[in-house]
Amino acid sequence: MLFIYMAGIALGSYMVINSIIYLSKELFIPEYMISFFALAIGTSLPELVVDITSVRRKEYSLAIGDIIGSNVIDATLSIGIGPLITPTAISGELATVTGVWAFIVSLIAILAIGIMGKHDRKMGILFIALYLLSYVVLFVM
């Protein structure tokens, strides 16, 4: 059964990668932008399931630990593996805009949480809006 599952994962991964390449060509969007979106979904959905299950079972510390841990791994390991395997040239302008935008979004998030002192629906909407706006900012560049 293990080999069947591994073959299914390999086939599914192959299909996802080919779909991303196809979408990027059809929509005239750089592959790296769509791959960031796919990476975000692919790494976040399993974490979301764990977090929802933990909250339903009233294991809040597990949910918080999972959120923090997955964010650290996503921000370091997941993003670092791609360039390690296949280095890609990025213009200095794009790198600058991305860095400045990441700083601005982080500052907004930290200030919003610090001022509000809680994480509620309004904060969730703000963070989702900032996330979606990030794609707009990067796509314009």
Q: Is residue 113 part of a domain?
A: yes
Question: Is there a domain that residue 111 lies in?
Answer: yes
| pLDDT tens by residue, 82-91 | 778 877 777 7
| Nearest-angstrom CA–CA distance, 7 and 49 | 23
Residue 141 pLDDT > 70, yes or no?
no
Count structural domains, the chain. 1
Could you give phi then psi for residue 85, rounded to 5 degrees? -85, -50
What confidence score (pLDDT) does residue 78 get? Answer: 66
Is there a domain that residue 103 lies in? yes
For the chain, count helices (H), then strands (E): 6, 0
**pLDDT at 135 exceeding the cut of 70:** yes
Residue 56 lies in a domain: no
Give the number of residues written for the chain. Answer: 141
CB 130 within 8 A of CB 105: yes
Classify residue 65: in a domain, yes or no.
no
DSSP state string for 61-111? HHHHHHHHHHHHHIIIIIHHHHHHHS-----HHHHHHHHHHHHHHHHHHHH
Given this model, what pLDDT does residue 70 score? 75
| pLDDT over threshold 80, residue 125 | yes
Mean pLDDT of the chain: 81
pLDDT digits (tens, 9 = 90+) for 28-80: 877 777 777 777 777 777 788 888 888 899 988 888 888 777 777 776 776 67
Provide the domain limits for residue 134: 89-141
